[in-house]
Amino acid sequence: MPVHRLPELVCPAGSLPALKAAVDHGADAVYLGFKDNTNARNFAGLNFDRKTMSEGIRYAHARGKKVLLAINTFPQAGRVAEWHRAVDTAAELGVDAVIMADVGLLAYASRRHPTLRLHLSVQGSATSFVAVNFAYQEFGIKRAVLPRVLTLQQVEHVINNTGVEIEVFGFGSLCVMNEGRCWLSSYACGESPNTVGACSPARFVKWEKKSGGMETRLNGILIDRFSDDEAAGYPTLCKGRFEVNDATYYALEEPTSLNVLPILPEIVKIGVAAIKVEGRQRSPTYVAQVTRTLRAALDAVANSDSAYAVRPAWLAELSRLSEGSQATLGAYSRPWR
Does 102 share its domain with 221?
A: no
Residue range of the domain that includes 305: 8-174+256-332
Question: Does 49 score more than 70 pLDDT?
Answer: yes
- Residue 1: pLDDT band by 50, 70, 90 thresholds? very low
Evaluate whether residue 153 is within a structural domain.
yes
Which pLDDT tens digit goes with each residue over 205-241?
A: 999 999 889 999 999 999 999 999 887 777 888 888 8
Which pLDDT tens digit goes with each residue over 108-131?
A: 999 999 999 999 999 898 999 999
Least confident of 79-83, 153-157, 179-183, 293-297: 179-183
Q: What is the pTM of this model?
A: 0.90
Question: d(Cα 326, Cα 274) in Å, to the nearest integer?
Answer: 24
Look over the chain and give the mean of its residue pLDDT values, rounded to a whole number.
91
Considering just the CA atoms, what is the radius of gyration of the chain in Å? Answer: 20
- Residue 2: pLDDT band by 50, 70, 90 thresholds? very low
| pLDDT of 178 | 63
| pLDDT of 330 | 81
- Structural domain total, the chain: 2
Question: d(Cα 296, Cα 257) in Å, to the nearest integer?
Answer: 19
- Residue 177: pLDDT band by 50, 70, 90 thresholds? low
Q: Among 89, 102, 107, which Cα is nearest to 33's?
A: 89
Residue 100's CATH number:
3.20.20.60
Does 240 share its domain with 92?
A: no
Question: Does 336 score more than 70 pLDDT?
Answer: no
